[in-house]
Amino acid sequence: MKYRLADLAARIGAELQGDADCEVDSVAQLQDATAGSISFLANSQYLKHLASTRAAAVILSPELAVQAPGNVLVSTNPYLCYAKAAALLHPQAAFTPGRHPSAVIDQSARIAGDAWIGPCSVIEAEVEIEGGVFIGPGCVVGRGCRIGLGSRLVARVTLCSGTRIGERTLIHPGAVLGSDGFGLANDEGRWIKVPQLGGVVIGNDVEIGANTTIDCGTIRDTIIADGVKLDNQIQIAHNVEIGENSAIAGCAGIAGSTKVGRNCTLGGGVGLAGHLEIGDNVHFSGQSLVTRSFDKPGYYSGNLPAVANGEWRKTVARIRRLDDIMQRLKAVERRLKALDSQPQKGD
């Protein structure tokens, strides 16, 4: 796609400073941009490339706009404007509705006429697929699944029976939704499988990364609310609930029956124990180990190498007492300093 800078600025909510009729047709990094490209700068680490960039225009904050040698699209959130510009200049490829001859589709499935069912995909009985849905190659949509308007299964996605997908949801290759949760009961040393009878419910405008797994509920459903963004290789266990617009980075894991609030973020490799309550606007940095509930908004971090459980509990108890110990130590140091400053007998 090609846009005049004036039109592009209006579409992405930026203020244009420069040639309104200049045209761009791609996005690029500052150091790689060409005459038809638009770039952005949100990190001062790359400021050194601004003066020499060949980009037709650069998206900048008001503070940096004065340093730009050419056309500028000014925004208080350059990265957001870049995302909007990239979506406009590089739109998702359109597809032709239909069914590939190699697809296996049960006669009872209800599929909208403008959906696409790709090569070697399997659509089982009583499935409902609404308008504009794209089912890529090698996908399996289990019995009774529902997929909402405009959603996209890129390739090799598995939806186990009864999974429900909202509208405009994007699911990347290898994701598995609705697999059995890890429910086992111990019978004198033998593990007995607990039937997993719930489902998975995915909201609207959700994105699920490659090879991410979301287990079905034991009795009630596992729920991923509207606007949630999940990175690659994440494990979501049975009965987990994730609130609206939360985002979780790769290799994170959430154990069963934990609830994560709205607008939360989990960095890469974060682990949440089971049966926790995480409030709204709670943020955990990468590799944090979360073993208790957090109800207050804020930024949290913490992780230690694994040790024997009893030793770990003692360590945590001591960590929680560190501030008190430090205060007492400072008091002792002050007393020792005072004693050292007193004249000694015989002086």
Q: What tens digit of pLDDT does each residue of 287-336 get?
A: 999 999 999 999 999 876 678 889 888 988 988 899 999 999 999 999 88
Q: Are 49 and 30 in contact (CB under 8 A)?
A: yes
Position of tokens 């490659």? Answer: 210
What's the full length of the chain, in residues?
347
The alpha-helical segments, DSSP class H, found in the chain are: 5-12, 62-65, 78-89, 309-320, 322-341
Q: What is the pTM of this model?
A: 0.85
Annotated catalytic residue, options 49, 238, 275, 283: 238
Tell me the per-residue pLDDT of 160-174, one tens digit each, with 9 for 90 and over: 999 999 999 999 999
Q: Average pLDDT for residues 26-44, to the nearest whole number? A: 89
Residues 95, 15: contact at Cβ < 8 Å? Answer: no
Lookup: tokens for 262:
């709205």
Q: Is 196 helix (H, G, I), strand (E, B) or coil?
A: coil
Alpha-carbon gap, residue 170 to 158, rounded angstroms? 13
Q: Which two structure tokens, joined as six digits, stand for 277?
A: 């309550």
b or e along 244-277 (b: 16 or more beta carbons within 10 Å of the residue's beta carbon)? Answer: bbbbbbbbbbbbbbbbbbbebbbbbbbbbeeebe
Per DSSP, 307 falls in state -
- So what's the pLDDT on residue 179? 97
CA distance 67 to 47: 9
Catalytic, 275? Answer no
